[in-house]
């Protein structure tokens, strides 16, 4: 169903890789709601994914950019405004990566060069993106910038490894930069803390299947899907949430406020027997 929520709005969507990714679903939904955007991803990710199909489907241009390189982001933002014919109303940062996780390094046995690379890609890239948008006056007033996070920023999930630190850093940047973006440019900045979602990035985490099942049993409404996250993101891009900023918004079926659920207790008691 379309509500025309984003008619006449323009933006940039980072991180669409394939049909499973939240950025991909968001792009499809933004398109359905009347928004126009450019797609961007790192050149290496573009070779791995099917972003071309998404561009054709949504009538969008792709501008490759390595989000850790300021000059790439500057080029992206300038070209996006040219292509779209004006300033931007929304930006989605859907980027995260841990080399330590990929290489199977335990949290107690990190390669710190990998750690640095991970937080540059997953968190500092968000600061770099906002700094470029801010300096170039690229956002319209009441625009909206959203990054995707996960609850491991607040609580311990042992196998989530240094991505937990990356997400905590990301959320802090959203608040800190969001203050200046709000005060100086009337732009809002928020993070969405999504349920564990079977995306290409998510399934890289050890024990992910069991974890999704656990979260689903724990949440009164069950896990939120990638498409449902896309819908929630649209509300933050729309004019209906003009005064929502500096928030980390849980989109997780209620998981974040649960201690334990009956289903999890039942499963646990079965194991005890």
**Is pLDDT larger for residue 140 or for residue 1?**
140
The pLDDT of residue 44 is 84
The pLDDT of residue 130 is 99
Would you say residue 272 has pLDDT above 90?
A: no
In the chain, the N- to C-terminal Cα span, in Å, equals 48
Secondary-structure percent of the chain, ordered helix, strand, coil, rounded to 5:
50, 15, 35
The answer to whether 51 is annotated as binding is no
Please name the residues in contact with 21: beta carbons below 8 A apart, sequence gap of 6 or more: 15, 49, 94, 199, 200, 201, 226
The answer to whether 212 is annotated as binding is no
The pLDDT of residue 240 is 98
The pLDDT of residue 70 is 98
The answer to whether 176 is annotated as binding is no
Q: Is domain 10-272 in CATH 3.40.50.720, yes or no?
A: yes
- The rounded distance, in Å, linking the Cα atoms of 125 and 68 is 5
The residue annotated as part of the active site, out of 3, 107, 150, 214, is 150
Would you say residue 1 has pLDDT above 90?
A: no
The residue annotated as part of the active site, out of 3, 107, 134, 160, is 160
What are the structural domain ranges in the chain? 10-272
Tens-place pLDDT, residues 94-105: 999 999 999 999
Tens-place pLDDT, residues 154-211: 999 999 999 999 999 999 999 999 999 999 999 999 999 999 998 877 776 777 788 8
The pLDDT of residue 31 is 98
- The rounded distance, in Å, linking the Cα atoms of 63 and 264 is 45
Tens-place pLDDT, residues 45-94: 888 879 999 999 999 999 999 999 999 999 999 999 999 999 999 999 99
Q: Does residue 160 carry a catalytic annotation?
A: yes
Stretch 23-30: mean pLDDT, rounded? Answer: 98
The pLDDT of residue 196 is 94
The pLDDT of residue 115 is 98
The answer to whether 202 is annotated as binding is no
The answer to whether 167 is annotated as binding is yes
Q: Does residue 150 carry a catalytic annotation?
A: yes
């Amino acid at each position: 169903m379309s509500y025309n929520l984003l008619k006449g709005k323009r933006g940039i969507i980072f991180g669409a890789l394939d049909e499973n990714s939240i950025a991909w679903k968001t792009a499809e939904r933004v398109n359905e709601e009347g928004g126009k955007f450019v797609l961007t991803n790192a050149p290496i990710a573009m070779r791995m994914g099917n972003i071309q199909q998404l561009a054709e489907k949504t009538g969008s241009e792709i501008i490759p950019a390595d989000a850790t390189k300021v000059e790439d982001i500057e080029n992206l933002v300038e070209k996006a405004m040219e292509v779209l014919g004006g300033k931007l109303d929304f930006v989605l940062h859907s980027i995260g990566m841990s080399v330590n996780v990929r290489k199977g390094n335990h949290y107690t046995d990190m390669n710190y060069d990998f750690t640095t690379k991970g937080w540059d890609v997953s968190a500092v890239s968000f600061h770099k993106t906002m700094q470029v948008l801010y300096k170039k006056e690229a956002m319209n007033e009441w625009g909206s910038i959203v990054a995707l996070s996960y609850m491991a920023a607040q609580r311990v999930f042992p196998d989530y490894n240094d991505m937990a630190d990356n997400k905590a850093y990301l959320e802090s940047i959203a608040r800190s930069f969001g203050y200046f973006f709000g005060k100086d440019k009337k732009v809002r900045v928020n993070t969405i803390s999504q349920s564990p979602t079977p995306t290409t990035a998510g399934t890289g985490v050890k024990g992910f299947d069991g974890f999704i099942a656990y979260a689903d049993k724990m949440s009164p409404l069950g896990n939120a899907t990638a498409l449902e996250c896309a819908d929630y993101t649209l509300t933050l891009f729309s004019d209906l949430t003009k005064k929502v900023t500096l928030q980390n918004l849980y989109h997780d079926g209620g998981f974040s406020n649960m201690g334990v659920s009956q289903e999890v207790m039942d499963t646990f008691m079965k194991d005890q027997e």
